[in-house]
Every structure is written in C-alpha cells, then in structure tokens.
Amino acid sequence: MAIAIVDYGMGNLHSVSKAVERLGYEPLVTGEREAILAAEGIILPGVGAFADAMEHLRETGLDAVMKEAAFGPKPLLGICLGMQLLFSQSEEYGRHEGLNILPGSVVRFTGDDYKVPHMGWNSLQFNNPEHPLFAGLEEGHVYFVHSYHVLPEAESHLLAVTDYGQPVTAIVGNGSVYGMQFHPEKSGELGMSLLRNFLVLTDSKA
C-alpha cells in the first residue's frame, strides 16, 4: 500500500515524495479522498501562508478528508505549514481557523534578540525519548524555516522542542496524528530517521 502525500496546491510535494521513496516506501501524490483514506499513511506537507492553505483545503474538500483521516487509525503527519494547519487557529495576517484536529494556536515570533523568520539548523530536545517516533535516535539538529510557531494547549502533545530565544514546538503527536515544524526531508540523517520512524508506524513497506 502507498503513503498518500496530500496535493492541495501548496506543498513541497516532490522533495517529500522522493524522501518517502528513498526510505523504501511507495509515495502517492494525490488530492483524491478515496486514495488518501485508502493509503496506509498520510503526509500533509505545506509551504506558504496559513490562510491560503486553509482556503485551498476547503475549496477542494480536503479539510473534511483530513479531519476524517485524523480520527482513523492510520498515521497522519503534518510537515512545516502542514503541522500548523492541524491546529485550531493562526494569527498569521489576521485570525484564521485551522483544521482543529489538535487544540492550540499558531503565533508569530516576538522579541528583538533573534531574526524572523527562524531559518537554519537547530537542535531538538525529546520530551518523551521513549516514544516510538524516537526509537533508536539521539537528539540532534534539524532544519527549520518559519516565521510562526505553534502553542499547543495540551502539554502531552508536545513531543520535542527546540530553542530559538524561547522554547519552540518542533514535534507534536496525539494518537495517530503527528506534526513536524521542520523539514525532515531536508534535515540530514536525523530528519530522514524521524521520517522513517513515522513510516514504520504505517507498517506499509513495499
């Protein structure tokens, strides 16, 4: 079975697809409901503005598909903007409702001691090192590019953080739903290993 990479017009589809393929899994780039829900795992990528992304999801009906998928047993991973879309709302250029799969808000970095956007390599701190997502891994550096960050309402959903003038949400998870603020496919060995561990959860190796 394939890993569905959701195509709603705003994702880094090629790099994510190639990363999934390099790890020995079958990527399926699709915007079709039936194909997404039939896949063994689902990845929601994202590049761009929160409001535009939500508009694309609503116009294609994929907002409802993502919610349906999130309440099923198959693992779902949001990457970068895709992770932010999983949350309740964002303050990026106004207030905008998200998918509300995970409770929390997306807010802009504030402060004068660091540059915005947050761009570059930062170290991860695992809040729950025993989580299957971190199996066999040690903390290390991954690659971030973002101007807004997530404040989850539930502390238990916060699986890993990084430091950028303040603790910044890096990885979230609740049940079968996960999110990575950084780009695992662009984050070297650790990023690819985290992506591999997510794919292992799908149990769908070709």
For residue 107, what are the CA distances in angstroms to 1, 61, 110, 152?
Answer: 37, 26, 9, 11
Whether 183 is a known active-site residue: answer yes
The catalytic position among 80, 118, 149, 157 is 80
The catalytic position among 40, 118, 157, 185 is 185
For residue 141, what are the CA distances in angstroms to 27, 99, 104, 119, 146?
Answer: 26, 29, 25, 13, 16
Please list, in sequence order, all residues whose beta carbon lies within 8 angstroms of the beta carbon of residue 38, skipping any fewer than 6 positions away: 1, 4
The catalytic position among 118, 146, 157, 183 is 183
Whether 157 is a known active-site residue: answer no
Other beta carbons within 10 Å of 82: 27
Whether 185 is a known active-site residue: answer yes
For residue 70, what are the CA distances in angstroms to 99, 118, 123, 175?
Answer: 10, 28, 28, 9
For residue 112, what are the CA distances in angstroms to 50, 106, 119?
Answer: 24, 19, 16
Which residues are known to be catalytic?
80, 183, 185
